């Protein structure tokens, strides 16, 4: 996802970019980039599930907003980018369900992406931050009711998160390697967006 090269060619100096331009870059070159989205289809049969691409767009949007929210604490110009994105996302006020879907996707994504979740020890603390993931793990019998994640928390959270995500689109996946790979691709996606915004944010006009 080399947004900068695609935007400005091989020039070493990134010119000034307006917040609305960066918002559109995120939409056009990341969120709605079908070439990028293909990498999430780890099995050919997943392409048969109609909601899959819709959910990819939903969660890419959520990730972009999470990165901007985290960045705007140190750089207020990122808040302008986030507002521009939200104006595009929520331009149809008659569709409140989409607003709720985005907020839910942001919360769910945080369960995977927040590293502080890996150090939570008690069930109550874990469930407060990881309810979506843990409900799925309990549902398939990996965790008993009120059982905390004791070992390999990052791996178990990633596996449970991927399982929950796929279940939302109608896919039951139990292969731990496939689940770990799927979660890893979303974490990599977050890192790539974070890196891009870090590179472009100093040039925000």
Structure-token pair, residue 76: 């207020």
pLDDT digits (tens, 9 = 90+) for 39-80: 999 999 999 998 999 999 999 999 999 999 998 888 888 899
Q: What single-letter DSSP state applies at residue 205?
A: -
Is the pLDDT confidence value at 3 over 60? no
- pLDDT at position 156 is 96
Q: How far apart are CA 166 and CA 169, in angstroms?
A: 5
Is 18 in a helix, a strand, or coil?
A: coil
pLDDT digits (tens, 9 = 90+) for 120-154: 999 999 999 999 999 999 999 999 999 999 999 99
Long-range contacts of residues 123-131, Cβ cutoff 8 Å, at least 24 apart: 123/147, 123/148, 130/157, 130/160
- For 113-124, give the secondary structure using H, E and C: HCHHHHHCCCHH
Structure-token pair, residue 31: 């969120």
CA end-to-end span of the chain: 23
Residue 130's contacts (CB-CB under 8 Å, 6 or more residues apart) are 111, 117, 120, 149, 157, 160
Q: How far apart are CA 76 and CA 44, in angstroms?
A: 42
């Amino acid at each position: 996802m080399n947004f900068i090269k695609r935007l400005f060619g091989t020039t070493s100096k990134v010119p000034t970019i307006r917040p609305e331009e960066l918002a559109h870059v995120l939409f056009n070159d990341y969120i709605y980039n079908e070439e990028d989205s293909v990498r999430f289809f780890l099995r050919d049969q997943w392409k048969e599930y109609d909601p899959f691409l819709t959910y990819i767009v939903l969660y890419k949007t959520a990730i972009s907003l999470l990165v901007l929210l985290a960045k705007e604490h140190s750089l207020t110009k990122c808040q302008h980018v986030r507002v521009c994105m939200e104006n595009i996302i929520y331009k149809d006020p008659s569709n409140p369900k989409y607003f709720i879907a985005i907020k839910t996707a942001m919360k769910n994504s945080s369960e995977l992406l927040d590293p502080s979740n890996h150090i939570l020890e008690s069930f109550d603390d874990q469930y407060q931050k990881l309810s979506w993931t843990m409900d799925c793990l309990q549902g398939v019998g990996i965790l008993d009711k009120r059982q905390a994640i004791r070992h390999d928390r990052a791996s178990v959270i990633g596996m449970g998160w991927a399982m929950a995500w796929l279940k939302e689109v109608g896919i039951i996946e139990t292969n731990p390697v496939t689940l770990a790979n799927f979660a890893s691709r979303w974490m990599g996606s977050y890192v790539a967006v974070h890196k891009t915004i870090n590179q472009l944010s100093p040039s925000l006009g």
